[in-house]
Amino acid sequence: MPEKISPGMQQYLDIKKDYPDAFLLFRMGDFYELFYDDAVNAAQILELTLTSRNKNSEHPVPMAGVPHHAVQDYIDQLISQGYKVAVADQIEDPKKAVGIVKRAVTQVITPGTAVDFSDRSENNFLVAIDQTKNQFALAYMDLSTGEFKVTELTDFSGVVGEIASLKAREVVVGYTLTSTQARVLSQQLNLLISEQLDCEIPTLIHLSALTALENQVASKLLTYVKRTQMRDLSHVQEVEHYAIKDFLQMDFATKSSLELTANKREGKKHGTLYWLLDATKTAMGTRMLRAWIERPLIHAEAINTRAEITQIFIDHFFERSDLIESLKGVYDLERLASRVSFGKAVPVDFLQLSHSLSHVPSIRKILENMDQPILSALTERLDAIPELTALIDSAIQESAARTITEGGIIKTGYNAQLDTYREALENGSSWIAKLEADEKEKTGISTLRIDYNRKDGYYFHITQSQLSSVPEHFFRKATLKNSERYGSKELSEIEEIMLEAKEKSSALEYDLFLAVRSQTEQYISRLQAVAKVIAELDCLQSFSEIAEKKGYIRPKLTPNGQEVNIKNGRHAVVEAVMGAQEYVPNDIIFDEKTNIQLITGPNMSGKSTYMRQFALTVIMAQIGAFVPAEIAELPIFDAIFTRIGASDNLIAGESTFMVEMSEANRAITQATKHSLIIFDELGRGTATYDGMALAQAIIEFVHDHIQAKTLFATHYHELTTLDQELSALTNVHVATLEEKGNVTFLHKITAGPADKSYGIHVAKIAGLPEKLLERADIILQKLENRPVSAKKLDNHDEQLSLFDFDENSTAIVEKLKSVNMDNMTAREALNFLWDLKELL
């Protein structure tokens, strides 16, 4: 006979079947409970005590619980590890329930929809992807700020790169993934994959600027968010189309190798361009700065506007100082607006809103005092929203607690009925004091006092020694060891008035607070608009502060030019880490006739730093920042392609060489004459001559067909002769100083090819054993006596010879040619080998 299931457990099972992929937190009294596998798994992940329901049953149900007041901490732990959590709350008052209390899921929290974070400066993007034929669309949303954007992409690798750049933790897929796509998303990118195949609300997205596929993926994302959050999300902004081609294009490998926003060692901010340029004062500015670095501009007017404002802030030191102080008083308006929309805003959030908006007029005044026409567009958008400030200032008590159910939130004078209740409470206190004094006098009990607790309410406290003096109109409420508690008719009447006033006062305050929260919702779009202006000002003041502190200069951009003229340029991040005194600056010069620099020189000498320096200078210039150089004249680039450093992509099953070739292919197929290509040691992932042949062929292809500005570092010294045949290629090398067998790397780029690689000297610096180094030197000398000539591979079918034979080897060659190997016996073959040995 099957075991009978209680109504409560049946309710749990009915809800759980709709959320099989989530931990279900089921509210029961003061706890959220988990059952069955959820309880077993959560107990292990969250280190909870695992108990069981119906312990004496044949099949006890595993159970674990967390207190309701601490549930958010446990939810955060589950979300941080990539799980979904469905929260089932009691949706009716237990006191009024007939039978079992009604419960329902009120929110599903996922890694991509979480809005409560410890780090408020980071975005948390939820991404959705969809596909039709060979075209992809990607939409992303940050529920904590309301940002909502969509784009189209031509291939899945572009989708992967965009998701990686957004640092998303969850992807909503609107189509059936292939097994390879699913593996890349779940294993390579470590994403939680959620499906949303149907589209519930297409009518909400009607912008003509969107393609049909963009409309579809944005609608599916919005559908998923509505279904999981189960509330009206008034802070979600209207979806905005963006195109990858409207920004300086960089794939994820390029951003990673240049360490723009995350360092390669730990994936953290320290030691990145983001870290270097971040002198922002607001969370909104910090997020915008990261977005600017991820997507540099390609339109000269927009770049120059940022640079011009940066220069104005540098020139107006005192005004900038005042601006910084005002920005410090601005809280995260975007996140505060989202808390209002989510119904999570507490009194302190409104006080922060008011405090932030109170700084807007002073910020506006500072900009006006600079008297610069270019600032007027920003000034006009600085909306202080005085109506909202007036509402908050009149309604919310400055000393209000975070809780919203126990009163003390609303100011006196805001609501007449609330003031009446408060007056009754104040009068009640004076009535209590008068009654206590009167009864002391009448009874002669000097120690008599009136106290209060939740169980007994108001009572007269009388010690054992005074019990004989208790008057007849007192009635006993409770007996303690050394005292008694009494009541009276008059005390009960006062208590009733006070408790009614207290209860009604708290309830009214709660309703008034909800009304303020509801009224604030109508200002959300204005809050988001002013937040964007403040974030922009914050980024630009950050640029000016860093430029002034580091001695950076404003670059000169030549949109229609091709020349590069950087004098005494530096790698901004390396210089910041090393210190300006130790860093060796370098010129980077490309005249009109030069497109390719072939860079030779030893490892550890600074080739990679020189190349990264160029890329970072371009990126800094095109986000509108100043750059580390004495002179910087640059064209505007449309893309940067890099292949720097060796790395296997083990999850995707790709070797170092395969990764090299894939990244080289992206550059060759996508670059234009306005792109920047950086290749470091391309071809080293395969055999020497294969690598050399490919490197030369790639150089020739870039030279003849693409004509992009290219830095190509190589250890193949044979390639340095290419400058005789390729007119737009020039050789440069890293200078070295050699004295008495010791080598010093000068980290200075000099014209011409390097004459040595100094690999053994690098090994010596690394501390390899002396005997090993001596042996390597002997082997090197032998190898250097057998030079391999480099020539342009006009016949691409020709394989370079592994050995150069001299005339003494002719007899061996002739003997090998004369033998028919197919007809030889084993004995004959062995004798033949002996004959060859004799000849050798």
Alpha-carbon span 114 to 121, nearest angstrom:
14
For residues 111 and 71, the answer to whether their CB atoms sit within 8 Å is no
Closest CA to 547 of 367, 322, 313: 313
Distance of CA 546 to the CA centre of its chain: 22
Dihedral sign from CA coordinates of 161, 165, 170, 171: negative
Alpha-carbon span 226 to 128, nearest angstrom:
14
* 487 secondary structure, DSSP code: E
Residue 446 phi, psi dihedral angles, 5° rounding? -70, -25
Alpha-carbon span 831 to 772, nearest angstrom:
38
CA dihedral 624, 625, 631, 636 (to 10 degrees): -30
Residue with the two structure tokens 């600017």: 292
Question: Which element (helix H / strand E) includes 679?
Answer: strand 676-680
Residue 403 backbone zone (phi > 0: left; psi -120 to 50: alpha; other: beta): beta
Query: In which order are the strands placed within the sheet that holds 192-195?
Result: 192-195, 170-173, 125-132, 135-142, 147-153, 240-241
State yes or no: 601 annotated in a binding site. yes
Q: HSE, CB side, 13 Å, CA atoms: give it for residue 218.
A: 26
State yes or no: 220 annotated in a binding site. no
Alpha-carbon span 347 to 410, nearest angstrom:
9
For residues 543 and 598, the answer to whether their CB atoms sit within 8 Å is no
Tokens of 259: 């360490």
Residue 209 phi, psi dihedral angles, 5° rounding? -70, -15
Strands 170-173 and 125-132: parallel
For residues 708 and 702, the answer to whether their CB atoms sit within 8 Å is yes
State yes or no: 731 annotated in a binding site. no
Q: Taking the CB of residue 37, how many other CB atoms lie within 10 A of it?
A: 11
State yes or no: 691 annotated in a binding site. no
Residue with the two structure tokens 């780090």: 119
Alpha-carbon span 225 to 142, nearest angstrom:
11
State yes or no: 329 annotated in a binding site. no
Amino acid in the structure at residue 216: Q
Q: How far is CA 404 from CA 204, 348, 515, 716, 808, in A?
A: 34, 10, 12, 71, 98
Strands (E), 234-280: 240-241
Tokens of 225: 């968010």
For residues 103 and 13, the answer to whether their CB atoms sit within 8 Å is no
Tokens of 754: 């390097």
State yes or no: 457 annotated in a binding site. no
Q: Buried b vs exposed e over 556-575: b needs ≥16 C-beta within 10 Å?
A: ebeeeebebbbeebbbbbbb
State yes or no: 604 annotated in a binding site. yes
Q: Taking the CB of residue 826, how many other CB atoms lie within 10 A of it?
A: 7
Distance of CA 814 to the CA centre of its chain: 68
Alpha-carbon span 580 to 582, nearest angstrom:
6
Alpha-carbon span 154 to 327, nearest angstrom:
41
State yes or no: 608 annotated in a binding site. yes
Tokens of 682: 């391309």
Number of H helices, E strands in the chain: 27, 26
Question: Which element (helix H / strand E) includes 128?
Answer: strand 125-132
Closest CA to 188 of 160, 167, 156: 160
Cβ partners under 8 Å of residue 229, min gap 6: 107, 108, 113, 143, 342
Q: Specify binding-site residues for ATP.
A: 601-608
Q: Specify binding-site residues.
A: 601-608
